[in-house]
Amino acid sequence: MFVIKAVPSVTVDMPVPLRDYDTSSDALARAVAAGGGSAIVAFKAPSDVRALANNGRRPALAKTTLQSGLALLEERKVEIVDYLAYMGAAWVHLKPEDARALMEHPLVDYIQPDHVGKAAGGPGIVAGADMDVAQQIPPWGIAMVRAPQAWTIETGSGTTDWQIVDSGYDNGHEDLAVLNANDQCRAGGCNDAFPSPHGSHVAGIATARDNFVGVVGVAHGLTEDRIFSYRACNNIPGNACTANAVTTGINYAVPNIDVLNLSLVLRQDFALCNAVAQAWQADVVIVAAAGNNSETLFEWPARCSNVVGVSGVLPNRNFASTSPCTVQGGTIHSNSGNHVDIAAPFYALSTVPNGYQGEMNGWCGTSQATPHVSGAAVLVRERFPSWSNLQVVNYMFQAADDEGPPGKDNQYGWGILNAYEAVK
């Protein structure tokens, strides 16, 4: 039985241009088939205009409307994978002909076919990067963002909740907190069964314990009950994540998460930005990777409104137009663009499961830059608990070390993260 809640109104970033399946039922049927039948169906009141015809505005949804929408799916024998209570939508598996019919139903706002994105970073070749956990080595990025100075004021221990949507979490790693699998992990989030354990590596950059072994995270004081993991990247080769799973992970962050880490990139997706809009309205700070290798198709959710987009920099503070890492046979570098808000270290030594090239490994990408920023956001939220997400984000931008042209630019955003100035 689903828990049904009223959903507040939000305005969602419009796809520009509209996709062919936004206006054509035949194109929608083809797109649903291409996505293996996986899609997100969002509901609306029968009298309301569809969001895609109303500049992205989704009016508030009453419980009765949502109950009617779910009843519609059940009546048509559509398989409901998960109900997205904070979006007024359902993740479903359906036949292309069902999508064609539902598109015109007055209870349906939009149907978003699934597609595949990817983690924004991966294992790199970095000299001396593989190690065991016999000693603690603070990574170079921790010093660059002035985290040790920030720790004299705040370490993240308190009531701030941090969530990662990724490939999972190595629950049992000597340098990571132990999570309660029943309460803190969704969709197998306490396991990192990815072909490469991307989520564990990202988690360590933000949260690795200050325990004299391994590495140490930006918000190492986060207690074990304040860390949450949703696995959205699972059993798909090439560091891939499905859009619907990522959207669902964001939905689960809405009720009680303070800072959300999205070290991944996807194509433009209306449901994804809908989930982001609801999370922002619920006072979540959302931090996402800007992407790698100038792949302009894969820059969401960083391009969604109110998401902090993170680019990468090298130890000399230069924009990461190149790096010492090779990933999948090629040199990796950071994306730039107007979706970049702040910059952070582009590669890091961090936690991987025991037996995967040691227990610490050096990886590259804006995936690695992102948790530096989300970890710092934890410190700011803990230091100033009355601040809204907007205040936290704006102050982090103000506190950043401006690089490149004065003010915001497409490589550094507002500058390189400075955790100390942000919590001072």
Active site residues: 166, 198, 367
Q: Burial-class residue 263 by CB neighbours within 10 Å (0-12, 13-18, 19+).
A: buried
Alpha carbon separation from 239 to 12, 193, 223, 320, 354 (Å, rounded): 27, 12, 29, 21, 19
Beta bridge partners of 42: 89, 110
> Which three-class secondary structure state does DSSP give residue 366?
helix
Q: Residue 146 and residue 3: Cα distance in Å, rounded?
A: 43
Q: Residue 361 and residue 384: Cα distance in Å, rounded?
A: 34
Residue with tokens 């990522």: 246
* Sheet containing strand 116-119, strands side by side: 240-242, 116-119, 264-265
Q: Residue 228 and residue 396: Cα distance in Å, rounded?
A: 23
CB-side neighbour CA atoms (13 Å) of 372: 38
Residue pair 343/403 in contact (Cβ under 8 Å)? The answer is yes
Q: Amino acid identity, residue 203?
A: A
Angle (deg, nearest 10), helices 198-207 and 366-383: 40
Which contacts qualify for 77-81: CB closer than 8 Å, 24 or more apart? 78/41, 78/102, 81/38, 81/244
How many residues make up the chain in this entry?
424
Which of 123, 125, 41 lies closest to 80 in space, CA to CA? 41
The phi and psi torsions of 129 (rounded to 5 degrees) equal: -80, -30
Please enumerate in sequence order all residues whose Cβ is within 8 A of that of 21, keeping only pairs 6 or more positions apart, or say none.
27, 28, 30, 31, 111, 113
Q: Residue 424 and residue 419: Cα distance in Å, rounded?
A: 9
CB-side neighbour CA atoms (13 Å) of 416: 22
